[in-house]
Amino acid sequence: MENENQEIEDYSFLLEDSVEKHFADINILLLSGKHIDHKFYSLYSILESYEANWQNYYKKLYKLNLIPDVFDGNRCYYLDFWDTGKGKLTDPGRNRELTEMQTIIGLMLWDMYYQKYFDEEKIIHWNDIKNQILESDHREAYKRILFDTVRDSYDEKEWSAVESKFNKTINSFDKLGWVDKQSTQNEELLFEIRPAIHRLSKLYKEELQNFDQFSKQFKNGVL
């Protein structure tokens, strides 16, 4: 394990056997937005062993911040922008905003994560999501934004349209490492919510810390 305080200037760690073997996987996954936790044990442990080297690498060559973070007691690594800008990923094709759908479903899953807080693995079936939409406190809003009409029940076709929206978003979350998708494209949705889903609250840290102010400004149309 490297001393974290030590200033690292070179890239010699890339010559280590284990790094050479997994470099491409780690680099491609991190740049595509992946949150790497111990579920990807071999990759995670290489990041951990050369943490300071990797951080230097991304700082110098990509102007990105490799963050070792802890979400709900689970360590994980991901790349983030520095406050000063998007570094070498400034080009519009190299970064993207979470879509509205992703933001809403992300917040929904974050809420569901806490509904299963004491379960070791937060396994979600499509039925759990249906229940959220039909029974939870937010049911009115869910129905309005997912079906465009608020009713007690919806037909199969309507559900299938909603499921395909979820499917698309869950696939993108799977790539981010926020969930671990178990079902294949033609099966009913089944996945595990990973602790990295908390990244969402980190993205909205400013708004959450000063929520009252944010909400006031928002309502007054200042934003």
User: In the complex, which residues of this chain contact other proteins (CB under 8 A)?
Assistant: 28, 30-33, 64, 73, 78-81, 86, 89, 93-101, 103-104, 107-108, 110-111, 114-120, 138, 141-142, 144-148, 165, 176, 201, 203-204, 207-208, 211, 215, 218, 221, 223
Nearer to other proteins, 44 or 81 (CB): 81
User: In the 8-state DSSP scheme, what is residue 188?
Assistant: P
102 and 108 Cβ atoms separated by less than 8 Å: no
End-to-end CA distance of the chain: 45
Nearer to other proteins, 95 or 160 (CB): 95
Bridge partners (DSSP) of residue 36 are: 77
Pick from 20, 97, 92, 13: nearest CA to 60: 13
Nearer to other proteins, 45 or 115 (CB): 115
The tokens of 44 are what? 């995670």
CA angle 84, 85, 91 (to 5 degrees): 165
Distance in Å, CB of 124 to other proteins, minimum: 13
Whole-angstrom distance, CA of residue 95 vs CA of residue 10: 27
The residue whose two tokens read 């079906």 is: 147
Radius of gyration in angstroms for the set of CA atoms belonging to the chain, rounded to a whole number? 20
Nearer to other proteins, 53 or 143 (CB): 143
Distance in Å, CB of 5 to other proteins, minimum: 26
Distance in Å, CB of 55 to other proteins, minimum: 15
50 and 20 Cβ atoms separated by less than 8 Å: no
Nearer to other proteins, 167 or 182 (CB): 167
**Number of neighbouring beta carbons within 10 Å of residue 68:** 14
Distance in Å, CB of 96 to other proteins, minimum: 4
Nearer to other proteins, 190 or 203 (CB): 203
Distance in Å, CB of 3 to other proteins, minimum: 27
Distance in Å, CB of 148 to other proteins, minimum: 4
